[in-house]
Amino acid sequence: MANNPGAKKAIRKIARRTEVNKARRSRVRTFLRKFEEAVTAGDAGAATTAFNDAQSELMRAVGKGVLHKNAGSRKVSRMAARLKKLQVA
């Protein structure tokens, strides 16, 4: 357990940051789910809109440090491939 004031303050800061990051991660997952639902429904128009929103939110999470840059890029790449496959079909 933390004994000195600096360590106690660090614990408080980490707790606050964890709450913020949790909210951001949840927001990203919501946008990913909306894209997933649009693709499953086969609606190319809604999927394109959802893709743009999800891509924006993913890159924002990367910028904020919630996700690693490569993880964000990988997710966007896979979503783009699924969207392209949907539009071709």
In the predicted structure, residue 1 carries a pLDDT above the cut 80: no
pLDDT of residue 2: 78
Q: End-to-end CA distance of the chain, in Å?
A: 58
pLDDT band at 89, cuts 50/70/90? confident
Gap between the Cα atoms of 40 and 35, Å rounded: 9
Name the domain count of the chain: 1
pLDDT for the residue numbered 8: 93
Give the range of the structural domain holding residue 52, as residue numbers without chain letter. Answer: 5-88
pLDDT above 80 (res 70):
yes
Question: pTM for the full model?
Answer: 0.86
pLDDT at 17 exceeding the cut of 80: yes
The overall average pLDDT reported for the chain is 95
Query: What CATH number is given to the structural domain containing 46?
Result: 1.20.58.110
